[in-house]
Structure formats: C-alpha cells, structure tokens
Structure 1
C-alpha cells in the first residue's frame, strides 16, 4: 500500500469522529429546538454548518480513496464480478452510495432549514434530514467492533 493511501485512509477514518460529533450535536439542537419550539439561533446555524462541512470533507476524502488510492474502489471499477464478493461490494458500491446519499440528506436539511421562515420549521427540517443522514452514516461506518481488521482508530 502506498503512503498516500495510508495517510488519506487515516484522515478519512479520523474525520468520521468529527462527522459523528457535529452530527449528534446538530441533531440534538434541531430536535430540542423543534420539540421545545425554540428560536433558531446562530449556534444552531453554526453547528449545522459544522456538520455539513465535516460531511463534505469526509466525502472528498472518500472520493480520493475510491477513485485514486483504494484497492477496493479500483477493483470495483475493474471487475464485473465485484458484486459477488461481499467485501468488494461493501466498499465499492454500498458504502460509497449510502454515504453520498447521507451527504445529500445533510445538505438538503441545511438548505431547507435556512430557507424556512418559521424557526420551529427550521429546526424540524434540520432534525428530519440530519437524522436521516446520521442514520445512514451509522449504518455504513465499518465499525471495528464487529471486524478487528477495521479498527476504530487508525494510526
């Protein structure tokens, strides 16, 4: 494996923690604002921006891996039988497609919440779409708990 692959993979692995941290805080703020009928504050906007920004950074790192550095992405593009191998299918198709959809959900939630006039509606739209984005992220992160070959932290 190349050193560029190892570096980008480590960055991609560590950035997931930023995504989860900002996503959980943004979701909590959106849910509490929606259910508590609170005003939409600058802190809400800032946390939403942090969540979406971290998602975009994670997507960029993932695309660099997929299209340039990762043997799984390259194998998925070269091999017609990639769907038959569960590991190649996960990395080459399922992981990337679900994560792209998660980024779309996060961005849509941010955009719709910015456009809404009513503060409670801002929180509601953010909560729904941030929740969908986080659900996909949580489902498609290759947690090291179930597979020791996929560590929680890469060094």
Structure 2
C-alpha cells in the first residue's frame, strides 16, 4: 500500500504542476486582455484546484503511513535537513499552498469585476505554485 500511495503522490505532482501552470497562465492572459470572466474561465481554475486537493489527500495518507512522515519526528528531525523537509517543511508549505489555491478560486467566484476575478486566480495560484516548487524533494523526484 505504501508503495502505491508513494507512486500516486509522486506522479500526481506532475498533474498538479501542469494544472496550476495552465490555470495561472490562462488567468493572467484573461486579465491582460480584459476579457469577461465566463464559466469556461471558472473551469480553467478547476484545472489547478482539483488535482491539488487530490494530491493533498494522497499526501496526508502518505504522511501517516510513511517512515519519513509523522513517525520520523524525534530529537534528530530538526537537525537533519532531509528529515526536516519530509516531516515538516514539505507537508506544511504544501498545505498552505492548497489553502491559497482554494482561497484564490473561492474569491474569483465572489468578486464582481472580471479583471479582479482573473487577478484572484493568477495571484493566489502563482504564489501557491512558487511555494510548491520550493518544497518539492528534488532528490527523490521521479524521472
């Protein structure tokens, strides 16, 4: 079970990064061209939202069952950079990123001017994308 969840979490990261990038670029183009925010634009926002939430669920399960997750906490965790990354930094920063994605998508549904709706998506998704890229364990990244 551990190996399956690990592979799901590792390869779903590609889908998350692709979805966030597509959503970010699409919203940025929408804001720069002063287009009206339509149902199609809302669905493009979902390309970043849905994979990120699925990835979060897989990550929580992995965090619980992995020897590098919650069971890795101890006196040595903060002193060792790899242990700290897996036990604290990666999960915490990525949870914050998913919260930002959710806030950006939710705000885009409630704001009136179209440009502000696009801005909500590209600002929050962009910050989330930077956070996610900063905490990917590149040494373990599947090629």
Normalised to the residue count of structure 1, the TM-score between the two structures is: 0.87
Q: 2:73 aligned with 1:83, yes or no?
A: no
Match of residue 110 from structure 1: 105
Q: Is there any run of 5+ residues in structure 2 with no aligned partner, and where? A: none
CA displacement 1:30-62 (0-9 Å, x = unmatched): 111111111112222112112111111000000
Q: 1:15, CA displacement in angstroms?
A: 0.6
Q: 1:127, CA displacement in angstroms?
A: 0.9
Q: 2:72 aligned with 1:71, yes or no?
A: no
**Aligned partners of 1:76 and 1:93 also within 8 Å:** no
Task: Give the distance between the partners of 2:128 and 2:19, measured in 1 at CA.
Answer: 12
Matches within 5 A, 1:1-150: 4-67=1-64, 69-77=65-73, 79-143=74-138, 147=139, 150=140
**Aligned partners of 1:65 and 1:73 also within 8 Å:** yes
Task: Give the distance between the partners of 1:151 and 1:132, measured in 2 at CA.
Answer: 21
Task: Give the distance between the partners of 2:142 and 2:70, measured in 1 at CA.
Answer: 24
Q: What RMSD over aligned residues (CA atoms) do the two structures have, in Å?
A: 1.2
Q: Is there any run of 5+ residues in structure 1 with no aligned partner, and where? A: none
Match of residue 152 from structure 1: 142
Q: 1:152, CA displacement in angstroms?
A: 2.5
Moved over 2 A (4+): 74-77
